[in-house]
C-alpha cells in the first residue's frame, strides 16, 4: 500500500468540515432541534470522556458548547480521530525504517500501516457520509471496521509473542488512545442511528436514505431460502446464475497458457489498470492448481473471480504463523476491494495443523459474495475480517476457529466440516471478534450443516462482545451437549451473544447447553428475525429481490 492518504492530511479537513456542518444544520435543523436529546452531543457522554476532551481541546471548533447538535458533534469527534490515525501512521512509517528493528516486529508494523490507512478511509467515509446517500448501517459498518483494524494491528505482535516488549517497536500509548477515540466515534454514530428511528416516526428523517435501510419501521422477515441477499444488484445476480459467464469474462487465467495470463495475481494487477466506469470486471480462472498468494487491494473494486468448480479451480498456499507470517498475511487469497464476488473456486492453505494459524481466505470487502466456493485449512481457515459479507452454498473445512474475524456475515446453505484436530486441541466452528458493544458485527450460520469428525463446539468468544447465531442448521452428533466453549475462564461469558434457533440433528439439543448469561435459546420468530439477511446484513439494500426464490417466513 502506498502513502497516498498522507498527501492530503486532515489539516485542511476542518475548512471543509465547517462548510459541511453549515449544510447539515440547514437541511436537518427542524428534525434535530426537537430530538437532540437522543444524540451524543458532548465528550461527557462518550465511553472515554477524558480521551475525547483531550483530543478535541485543540480543535478549531473547541468553542462548541453543550447545545451542539448531534451531527456537528459526530463529525467533530470523527475528524479528531482521523487526525490521530494520520499521526500514528506517520509515526509507524518512521519506526519501521529503524535498522535495529526485530524482523518479525517489522512484519507486524507493515500490517499496522495498511490497517491505519484503511482506518483513515473508514473514518472519512463515516464523516462525509452525512452529506451523501449513505445509511446509518453504512456508517456503523465503517466504524466497526476501524475498530477491527486496531485490534488486528496488535494481533500481529501477539502472533510473534512480542506483546510484552512491543512498546519498544510501537507507539503503544497513541495506539490505545486511537482505539478509544474510534470507540467514541462509534458510540456517537450508534446514538445518532438510534435517534434516527425516533425522527423517522415524526416523518422527518435526519439522515438520507434511512427510511430505505435503517433500523426502524416494519421489516419483512426473510429466512431466506433466497439465493442471494437483496443488496446484490440484478446484473451481478445474473452473472452468478448464467452458465455462460465464463465465456463473457474480461480476463482469462489458464495454467496451460490458453488465457490472457497464467497466474491470478497477474490478472488482478491488470484489472487495476483497466478503465471500467464502475462496470464489474470478470476474471475467469480455468481449471488447475494455482500455487500463489493473491491479494486484491482495496483500490480494486467490483471484481468477480469465477472458476470451473470446487476442486477443479484451486488456489493454494501454505503461509502460516509458525513459519513467520502474521495471521493477517498468512491468507492464500486476500481481498479488500469492495463488491468482490467469487464463484466455483477452492481456496486452501496446506500448512497443516501443526503450523497453527494458516488462513485460506481473508476478506475485508464490503458487499462481498462467495457462491459455491470451498475453503480448506485447519486452524483459522476463513478470516471474515470486517464489513458485510454473504456466503451461499459453500464448503468450509477446518479445526480450531474455522470461521473467525469481525465481519457482519451470513453463511447460508453451507457445509461445515470439522476435521480431526491435533492432540490437545478442540474444534471450534467460530471465533467471532466483536470487541465493542456498539459494533454492528456478528456471524449468522443459517440453513447449514455442521459435520464433525471429532468433538466440536459451535464457537468461542475471541473478543468480549462476540456474537454468533445458528439458525435452522443440522448439527452433527459430535457437537457436545454444552455446545459452546469458553475462551479463558469467565472471559466474555456475560457480554457475548450466542444464540440457537430451530436447529435439528443429533447435536442440536439445547437441554445441556452452557448456562452463560450471554447464551440464548431463541424461542420466537421475532427475536430470530433480527438475524435475517434483510435485518442483520442490511440485505434489502445491496441485493435486489427480483427473480430470487424467497421464503418470507420461518
Strand ranges in 86-237 using DSSP code E only, listed in sequence order: none
Q: Which residue has the cell 434511512?
A: 210
Catalytic residue among 250, 380, 406, 538: 380
Q: Label the pairing between strands 374-376 and 497-501.
A: unpaired
Residue 325 near residue 362 (C-beta atoms within 8 A): no
Count Cα atoms within 13 angstroms, Cβ side, for 309.
2
- For residue 236, indicate whether it is catalytic: no
Strand ranges in 292-437 using DSSP code E only, listed in sequence order: 294-296, 303-306, 313-317, 333-335, 341-343, 346-349, 361-363, 368-371, 374-376, 382-384, 388-392, 395-398, 403-405, 408-412, 415-418, 427-432
Q: Label the pairing between strands 361-363 and 382-384.
A: parallel
> Partners of 446 in the beta sheet?
412, 471
Residue 500 near residue 474 (C-beta atoms within 8 A): no
Catalytic residue among 83, 138, 366, 401: 401
- Cell representation of residue 172: 503503544
- For residue 159, indicate whether it is catalytic: no
- Cell representation of residue 326: 502474521
Going across the sheet that includes 449-452, the strands are 288-291, 313-317, 346-349, 374-376, 395-398, 415-418, 449-452, 474-475
- Cell representation of residue 520: 440464548
Q: Hey, which residues are catalytic here? A: 380, 401
Amino acid at each position: 500500500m502506498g502513502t497516498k492518504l498522507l498527501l492530503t492530511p486532515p489539516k485542511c479537513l476542518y475548512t471543509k468540515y465547517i462548510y459541511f456542518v453549515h449544510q447539515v444544520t440547514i437541511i436537518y435543523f427542524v428534525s434535530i432541534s426537537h430530538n437532540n436529546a437522543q444524540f451524543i452531543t458532548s465528550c461527557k457522554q462518550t465511553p472515554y470522556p477524558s480521551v475525547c476532551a483531550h483530543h478535541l481541546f485543540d480543535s478549531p471548533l473547541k468553542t462548541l458548547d453543550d447545545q451542539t447538535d448531534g451531527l456537528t458533534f459526530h463529525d467533530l469527534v470523527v475528524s479528531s480521530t482521523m487526525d490521530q490515525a494520520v499521526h500514528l501512521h506517520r509515526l509507524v512509517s518512521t519506526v519501521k525504517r529503524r535498522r535495529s528493528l526485530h524482523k518479525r516486529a517489522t512484519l507486524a508494523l507493515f500490517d499496522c500501516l495498511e490497517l491505519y490507512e484503511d482506518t483513515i478511509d473508514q473514518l472519512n467515509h463515516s464523516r462525509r457520509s452525512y452529506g451523501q446517500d449513505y445509511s446509518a448501517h453504512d456508517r456503523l459498518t465503517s466504524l466497526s471496521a476501524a475498530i477491527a483494524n486496531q485490534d488486528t494491528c496488535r494481533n500481529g505482535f501477539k502472533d510473534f509473542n512480542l506483546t510484552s516488549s512491543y512498546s519498544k517497536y510501537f507507539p503503544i500509548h497513541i495506539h490505545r488512545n486511537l482505539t478509544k477515540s474510534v470507540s467514541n466515534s462509534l458510540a456517537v454514530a450508534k446514538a445518532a442511528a438510534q435517534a434516527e428511528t425516533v425522527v423517522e416516526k415524526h416523518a422527518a428523517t435526519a439522515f438520507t436514505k434511512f427510511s430505505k435501510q435503517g433500523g426502524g419501521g416494519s421489516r419483512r422477515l426473510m429466512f431466506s431460502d433466497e439465493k442471494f441477499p437483496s443488496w446484490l444488484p440484478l446484473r451481478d445476480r445474473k452473472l452468478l446464475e448464467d452458465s455462460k459467464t465464463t465465456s463473457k469474462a474480461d480476463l482469462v487465467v489458464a495454467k496451460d497458457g490458453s488465457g490472457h495470463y497464467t497466474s491470478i495475481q497477474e490478472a488482478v494487477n491488470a484489472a487495476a489498470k483497466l478503465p471500467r466506469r464502475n462496470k464489474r470486471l470478470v476474471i475467469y480462472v480455468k481449471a488447475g492448481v494455482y500455487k500463489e498468494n493473491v491479494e486484491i487491494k482495496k483500490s480494486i473494486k467490483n471484481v468477480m473471480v469465477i472458476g470451473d468448480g470446487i476442486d477443479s479451480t484451486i488456489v493454494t498456499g501454505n503461509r502460516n504463523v509458525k513459519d513467520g507470517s502474521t495471521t493477517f498475511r498468512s491468507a492464500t487469497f486476500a481481498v479488500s476491494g469492495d463488491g468482490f464476488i467469487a464463484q466455483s473456486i477452492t481456496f486452501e492453505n496446506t500448512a497443516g495443523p501443526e503450523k497453527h494459524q494458516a488462513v485460506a481466505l481473508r476478506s475485508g470487502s464490503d458487499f462481498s459474495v462467495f457462491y459455491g466456493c470451498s475453503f480448506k485449512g485447519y486452524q483459522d481457515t476463513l478470516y471474515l475480517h470486517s464489513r458485510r459479507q454473504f456466503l451461499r452454498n459453500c464448503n468450509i473445512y477446518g479445526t480450531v476457529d474455522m470461521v473467525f474475524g469481525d465481519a457482519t456475515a451470513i453463511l447460508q446453505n453451507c457445509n461445515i466440516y470439522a476435521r480431526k484436530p491435533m492432540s490437545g486441541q478442540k474444534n471450534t466452528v467460530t471465533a467471532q471478534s466483536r470487541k465493542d458493544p456498539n459494533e454492528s458485527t456478528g456471524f449468522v450460520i443459517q440453513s447449514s450443516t455442521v459435520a464433525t469428525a471429532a468433538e466440536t463446539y459451535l464457537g468461542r468468544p475471541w473478543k468480549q462482545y462476540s456474537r454468533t447465531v445458528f439458525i435452522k442448521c443440522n448439527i452433527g452428533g459430535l457437537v457436545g451437549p454444552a455446545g459452546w466453549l469458553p475462551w479463558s475462564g469467565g472471559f466474555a461469558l456475560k457480554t457475548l451473544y450466542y444464540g440457537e434457533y430451530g436447529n435439528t440433528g443429533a447435536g442440536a439439543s439445547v437441554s445441556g447447553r452452557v448456562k452463560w448469561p450471554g447464551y440464548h435459546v431463541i424461542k420466537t420468530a421475532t427475536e430470530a428475525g433480527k438475524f435475517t439477511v434483510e435485518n442483520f446484513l442490511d440485505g434489502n439494500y445491496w441485493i435486489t429481490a427480483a427473480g430470487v426464490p424467497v421464503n418470507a417466513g420461518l
